[in-house]
């Protein structure tokens, strides 16, 4: 693989801290419960409910990612803040199952407390920019608290207003205010690490399935290969492209919101859908919905991560083929009529592996890069920084 000065390993920026990684462990509990919920109740309604809960968790995580990116010093005060915030997040994770069935009191209350923690942390500065974010989080905390007594389905509308309110304040360009830009390297690495966590759910769901014969072991191995191919699709192509765009924007909050905060939300959730679909197909007599869950999840992942973006810029068949592959991926669930669950898993693995090979082949050789450095290690010397 050819090294390039714009790779993760060559970009100098703020490092991901160990306390951020600890907070991610709490979110692992949350996303794992969402995947289990879709496995336990494999139907379209469950996916919609899980997506709604995931959106709330996603923006909660982003609040901490942006906070550390802009103001984190990796000191004891910062450590204490993240550890305090991890407690209500952990409570919310355990409360996800009752929330999925309509009992949202504990989940909404925990989300309100988390936003008060974020409000206090952003309120430490005296700038109008930080004060605006603090006010937004206080309002969001109030809305989550009020949602406890709001009847369904209006509860989810209140959550949507709360998340939209805080996201606009958190990631909005305001050139009159200092301290709003983001460290591109840290932001890209935070999202890359979270994508790895979600990829881990594919392995976890596969590993929890009962294996009783040789075909089951082979299907389990196929699921492991599938997870690796999904990793390759993101980290061999999309991750580097996203970082480069954010760097060229000078750490623009608007660009960060488009590429990462909003742009990664559906691809990230699609990994949970794939995990649930794989877990179901490894069980005995899975429902037809498992085929559609896995194939649609892969389709959203391919579309959302934009792994074929460079290929689509080519002419002729090189531009049309990626589009046809994505459309076909969304329809792979129809193969439940001719393939057994294990056979479909083999086929889906081969399909995703082929897409990964095509994505790599479409890249100019000089653009292929090394993996990001491990958290806690200093990056290599940087090339000249893009203009602010």
Question: What is the rounded average pLDDT of the residues 50-57?
Answer: 96
Give the helix/strand (H/E) hosting 189. Answer: helix 184-207
Write the pLDDT tens digit of every residue in 147-179. Answer: 999 988 899 999 999 999 999 999 987 665 666
Give the pLDDT confidence score for residue 58 in this predicted structure.
97
Q: What is the mean pLDDT of the chain?
A: 86
Q: Quick check: 296 and 331 in contact, CB under 8 A? A: no
Task: Note the pLDDT of residue 125.
Answer: 59
Backbone dihedral region of 126: left (phi > 0), alpha (psi from -120 to 50 degrees) or beta?
alpha
Structural Rg of the chain based on CA atoms: 21
Measure the CA–CA gap between 235 and 196, rounded to whole angstroms. 10
- Does the pLDDT value for residue 384 go beyond 80? no
> In sequence order, what DSSP letters do the residues of 62-114 get, joined into one string?
HHHHHHHHHH---SHHHHHHHHHHHHHHHHHHHTHHHHHTT--HHHHHHHHHH
Structure tokens at 236: 């061999």
Q: What is the pTM of this model?
A: 0.87
* Higher per-residue confidence, 183 vs 73: 183
- At 312 the pLDDT is 55
Backbone angles phi, psi at 23, to 5 degrees: -60, -35
Q: pLDDT at residue 87 above 90?
A: yes
Q: Which residue's structure tokens are 């905390």?
A: 141
Are the C-beta atoms of 178 and 129 separated by less than 8 Å?
yes
Q: Which residues contact 124 (CB under 8 A, 6 or more apart)?
A: 71, 130
What domains does the chain contain, in order, with CATH numbers?
A: 18-175 (no CATH), 181-365 (1.20.1410)
pLDDT exceeding 70 applies to what percent of the chain?
85
Task: Please return the burial class of 148, using the count of CB atoms within 10 Å of its CB with bins 0-12, 13-18 and 19+.
Answer: middle
pLDDT of residue 130: 84
Please write the tens of the pLDDT for every residue from 111-154: 999 999 999 987 665 678 888 899 999 999 999 999 999 988 89
Q: 62-66, 103-107, 317-321: lowest mean pLDDT where?
A: 317-321
Average pLDDT over residues 13-33: 91
Quick one: average pLDDT of 345-365? 87
Please state the rounded mean pLDDT for residues 225-235: 95
Residue 298 has pLDDT above 70, yes or no: yes
pLDDT at residue 6 in the model: 40
Residue predicted with more confidence, 63 or 209: 63
Q: What share of the chain is helix, strand, coil (3-state, %, to 5)?
A: 75, 0, 25
Q: Dig out the tokens for 387 from the structure.
A: 């203009």
| Residues 29, 90 contacting (CB under 8 angstroms) | yes
Instruction: Look at residues 272, 274, 315 and name the one whose alpha carbon lies nearest to residue 294.
Output: 274
Helix (H, G, I), strand (E, B) or coil at 23: helix
Least Cα distance to 62 among 6, 128, 140 occurs for 140
Tokens of 62: 């982003």
Among residues 106, 105, 97, 103, which one has the least CA distance to residue 36?
97
């Amino acid at each position: 693989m050819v090294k390039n000065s714009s790779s993760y390993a060559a970009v100098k920026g703020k490092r991901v801290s160990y306390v951020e990684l600890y907070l991610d462990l709490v979110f692992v509990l949350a996303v794992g419960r969402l995947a289990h919920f879709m496995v336990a109740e494999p139907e379209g309604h469950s996916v919609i409910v899980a997506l709604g809960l995931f959106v709330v968790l996603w923006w909660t995580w982003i609040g901490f990612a942006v906070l550390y990116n802009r103001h984190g010093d990796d000191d004891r005060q910062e450590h204490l803040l993240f550890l305090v915030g991890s407690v209500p997040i952990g409570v919310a994770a355990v409360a996800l199952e009752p929330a999925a069935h309509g009992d949202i009191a504990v989940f909404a209350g925990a989300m309100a407390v988390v936003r008060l923690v974020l409000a206090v942390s952003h309120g430490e500065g005296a700038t109008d920019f930080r004060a605006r974010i603090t006010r937004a989080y206080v309002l969001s905390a109030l809305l989550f608290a009020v949602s406890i007594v709001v009847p369904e389905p209006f509860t989810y509308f209140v959550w949507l207003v709360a998340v939209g309110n805080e996201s606009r304040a958190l990631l909005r360009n305001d050139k009159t205010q200092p301290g709003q830009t983001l460290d591109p390297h840290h932001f890209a690495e935070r999202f890359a690490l979270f994508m790895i966590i979600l990829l881990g759910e594919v392995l976890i769901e596969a590993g929890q399935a009962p294996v009783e014969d040789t075909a089951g072991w082979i299907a389990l191995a196929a699921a492991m290969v599938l997870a690796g191919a999904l990793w390759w699709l993101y980290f061999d192509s999309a991750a580097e492209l996203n970082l480069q765009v954010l760097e060229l924007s000078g750490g623009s909050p608007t660009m960060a919101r488009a590429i990462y905060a909003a742009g990664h939300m559906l691809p990230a959730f699609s990994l949970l859908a794939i995990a649930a679909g794989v877990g179901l197909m490894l069980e005995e007599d899975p429902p037809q919905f498992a085929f559609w869950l896995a194939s649609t999840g892969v389709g959203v992942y391919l579309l959302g991560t934009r792994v074929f973006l460079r290929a689509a810029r080519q002419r002729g068949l090189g531009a049309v083929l990626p589009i046809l592959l994505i459309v076909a991926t969304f329809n792979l669930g129809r193969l439940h009529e001719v393939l057994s669950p294990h056979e479909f898993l083999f086929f889906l693995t081969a399909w995703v592996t082929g897409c990964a090979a095509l994505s790599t082949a479409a890249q100019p050789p000089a653009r292929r890069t090394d993996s990001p450095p491990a958290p806690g290690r200093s990056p290599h010397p940087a090339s000249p920084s893009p203009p602010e």
